[in-house]
Amino acid sequence: MDYSMSLWGLFISSLISSTLAPGGSEFVLAYLASLQQFNPGALWLTATTGNTLGALITWFMGFIAAKRFPLDNSLAHKNRRALDVLQKWGALALLFSWLPLIGDGLCLLAGWLRLPFLASLLFIVLGKAVRYAIILSFFM
């Protein structure tokens, strides 16, 4: 298996699955880890970086959307819950940006609410890094 192509595939899968598009980077990571042919640190860094960049794309989408569409009460139910969490916990809530469905909403609304970028980045990275470390621990 081509090492660099596999890492690029993991990166792209991680990036896409952290935007508003569905994806399954956990399965790609688990598969590559189970092969025992890859450096676990490289797998972890690749998945974490791709997933973080995808979350930041979503954060910036919210930031840009807020200029045209002010936040109102017409949010979908899942996004309303994410908004409530963000208003209560701020950027700290982005530790849970790895969660399916709600994580995308958290990132989008964090940008929309203009939560501090560096704090958002820190908590997004932490949440995603821990999740991928746990996945790797099961498959290495």
Contact 7, 42 (CB under 8 A): yes
In the structure encoding, which two tokens stand for residue 100, read together? 């399916």
Number of domains present in the structure of the chain: 1
Tell me: pLDDT of 23 over 80: no
Q: Which domain range does residue 12 map to? A: 3-139
Which pLDDT band holds residue 20 (cuts at 50, 70, 90)? low
pLDDT the model gives residue 24: 85
pLDDT in tens, 68-104: 887 765 566 666 777 788 889 999 999 999 988 788 8
* Average pLDDT of span 120-130: 98
Place of tokens 């974490």: 48
Give buried/exposed letters for 95-133 (b at 16+ CB in 10 A, else e). Answer: bbbbeeebbbbbbbbbbbbebeeeebbebbbbbbbebbe
Calculate mean pLDDT across residues 103-113: 91
> Which pLDDT tens digit goes with each residue over 27-52?
999 999 999 999 999 999 999 999 99
Q: What percent of the chain has pLDDT over 90?
A: 69
Amino acid identity at 131? R
State the Cα–Cα distance between residues 34 and 10, nearest whole angstrom. Answer: 14
Q: Which one-letter DSSP state was computed for residue 71? A: -
